[in-house]
Structure formats: structure tokens, C-alpha cells
Copies of this chain bind each other. A is one copy, B any other.
């Protein structure tokens, strides 16, 4: 899946609710999902981990939509490797 596809799916599916809720409440939801992912990684099974990774990505895409940010553009600085040292593998100290 392309990142812009993800943003489009999330916009069509949840955009109306995300906009009504606003950015701070969406930040709270993303944080909750990150907590659930942390728990799934500590003691969950593969299905739970899959679900939580999907939820974290979906809420990140929701926030990007609300902020008017393209996730594709956000990742541009990773395309050639490490955004700091520019190398891949990263050579940062």
C-alpha cells in the first residue's frame, strides 16, 4: 500500500469524525494505540501485534490528514538512508 492510499482510506473512512474531534484528541488516541502496541509486543500474539501496528499507522495517517501533511513527503528525508548522516547503513556515532 502506498502512503497516500493509506491517507485516502483514512480520510474517507474516519475524516468526518477526526475533524470533529480535532488534533489534540487525535493525539490522545494515537498515544493510546502506541500503548496498546507496546503491550502487544510485550505479551501479545502475532494477530494482536498486526492489529496494533495497523491501528498506529491509521491514527498517524489521521493526524497527518488533520495537519495537512503528506506522509510521502515526511519520509522523503529517509529515502537515501539516515536523515542525519546520509548513509545506509547509518554511520552516526
Q: What separation, in Å, do the CA atoms of A24 and B28 have in the docked complex?
A: 21
Would A58 and B75 count as touching, CB distance under 8 A?
Answer: yes
Asked whether, in the complex, the Cβ of B60 is within 8 Å of the Cβ of A56, the reply is yes
| CB <8 Å contact, A13 and B54 | no
Please tell me the number of chain A residues within 8 Å of chain B, measured between CB atoms.
52
Cβ–Cβ contact A13 & B63, under 8 A: no
| Identical copies in the complex | 2
Report yes or no: A78 in contact with B13, Cβ–Cβ below 8 A: yes
- Nearest Cβ in chain B — how far from A44, in angstroms? 10
B73 and A50 form a contact (CB under 8 A): yes
CB closest chain-B residue, reference A79: B9
CB-contacts of A45-93 with B (<8 A): 46, 49-51, 53-54, 56-58, 60, 63-64, 67, 69, 71-79, 81-83, 87-90
